[in-house]
Chain A
C-alpha cells in the first residue's frame, strides 16, 4: 500500500521531465503564425505569467507544492482549475466507458467460454475472425463507417455530441440516444480483446487434471464448465477488470474525438497538442493513481474469487 507514494512521486518526476523537455512551447497556443489577429502579442509577458521562463526544477517544485495541498494547478489555456476541468468531464467519460466496458464483458465472457469449449467449431472460427477484425480495424475508420450507415443513411441515431441542442426527451433518454453509437463502436473493439482473453484462459483451465477428474467422477458437463472451469478461468479476467479502471476514467481518445463526446480523452489530447503542462500533469497523475488503485482492487478481488490466496500471511 505504502509503496504507492514513492511510485507516484517517481511517475510525477519522470512525466514532468519528459513533458518539459519534449520540443514545443506552451506559448505556441497563444500564437498563430497564420493569423493577423494574433500578430502582435507579448510572448515574454505570457511566459512570465505561466512561469515557464523558470528552470524546470523550479516549475516542478511549484507544481509539487500545489499538489501536496490537494490542488492540481491552473490550466495554461484558460486559467480554470485543472481539478475542475477534470471533474466536469467525469460524468461523460464514466457513462461512455462504463457502458462500453460493461457491454463488452457481458458479451465477451459467454463468447470466450463457448469458443473454448467448442474449440475450432464453425462458430468459434467466426468469433475468432470477428475478434481479429475488432482488434485490427482502426476505430476512427470503424467509427466513421458506423456513423455513415446508422446516422446518415438510416438516420437512426444522432451523429455527434452527448446531448441534443433542443429536445423534448428527458435528459437521460437523450444521452442514451447519443450514447448507443459511440459505446457500440468502443465495445466492438473491447469485446474482441476480452473474448480472446477469456477463450485462452478457459482453454488453459479445461485441459487441467482436476477438470478431467471431475468429468471422470461423472459430474454433469454443464456443472464442470460453469462451476469448476469458469470460476478459475475468471481470475485473469478480473485482473483485466482492475486494469480497466484507469481506462474507465481516462476515456477513449479517438472515439471521443470522432463522436465529439465531451470526455476526458479530449481533454488529454487537447492539452497535449497545446502543451498545457498543468492539465497534462493533472490527467497523467489522476490516471497513474487509478492504475495503482486498479491493481489494488484486482489484488483484493483475487482473494474474493480464489480462497487459496490470502494476504498478510506467509
Chain B
C-alpha cells in the first residue's frame, strides 16, 4: 500500500466540499459531482468514481461530510452489493452502464439468489437460464427478494448447465426487472410486514452481454456478493438516516429514504433494541426487580462486547493488518444480542407483551421486537452457516463429507418444491 498522508487528504476533501457542496442543488446533480470527483467512494479506483485511497481512511472522510452536512452517495437497499460485485467482476460495459447510476440513486437493484428450494444451500438453485436464438431465457422462482418491487435491475444466479456438479453449472446475470416476464409478488412475514418479495420468471429475456464473466462463474461471483453482505451485518451503523433540514437536496434525500425504507421500518426492532432496555424498565417499574436487572446487565454485556469486537475488527482493517477472528463473528454476535433483547423486552413488558399494534407499548414497537428478532439469525446467512464458515475458514476444521458435489447436478436429490 502506498503511503498516503491522511491530514493532507482530509484537507483536500474539506476544500473540495467547501467549493462544491450546496444543499440547494438537486440530489442527482450533487451525486454526479461526487462520482466525478471520486469523493463519494474514496476507496474505489480512480477510473471508477473513486480516489484509490485505503479503506481505513474512508470513515475519516465520511466524518468531513458529516461536519458540513454534505450528503453521500446513495446507499439504501442492496445497491452497494451490486456495485461492489460489478466493480470486481463486471465488464467495461457493465461498469459504464451501471456504477454511476447506482451511486446517484437513479437505479435500484435487487439480489435474485435465494429460492424456495435452496436457502442455506444457495448453490442448489434451479432457476434456469437457457440460450435460445442468441438470448438467455430465464424460468423459475426466487424468494426473499428485497426491493424487487421497485428495482430496475436484478443480480441473478441461474443454472446454465445441469450436467456439471452443482457449483459449476451456475452463471451470473444482470436482469432487467421491468420486463413483463418478471412478476413480483409481496411475501408477508410473521410480523405482518411484507418487506420482501417472491419473483417469478416466465421466459424472461437477458441479452448475452448482460452475463457477468463466463459460463459457470456464477458461484464464484455470488460469493463476492455474499461476502460484502456479511461484512455489513456486524451491527455497526453505516450511513446517516437523513435530516429534517429544508433545502432541496435534504428534501430529496428524505423522499428517497422514505421510499426505500418504508417496508423496512421494523429493521431496528429485529436487532432487539438494546437501546430501549433501561428506559423501558424504568418506565414499567421493573428496573428495581433484581432478576430483571441481571438480565438487562447480561444484554448490555453482550451488546457492548459485540460492539467493541466490531470496532477491533475495524481498527485492524484501518491499520491494514490481517483481520483476526474478531472480523468473522459480528453476524453471529448480532443474533445473540437480538435473541437476548427479545427475552429482556418480554420480561420488562409483562402482560402487555401479549398485545400488539396500538394496544401495545410504544405504539407497537415493543410487539414488533418480540415477533421480529427471529429474522436476524436467518437473513443473509443462517447462524448455522455462519458457524460452518467460522469453523472451516477461521479455525481450519474440516468440511463434513457431502454427497452433492461429486456428481452431475441433475442426479443430486433435492426438494420437490421448486
Question: Do chains A and B stick together as partners?
Answer: no
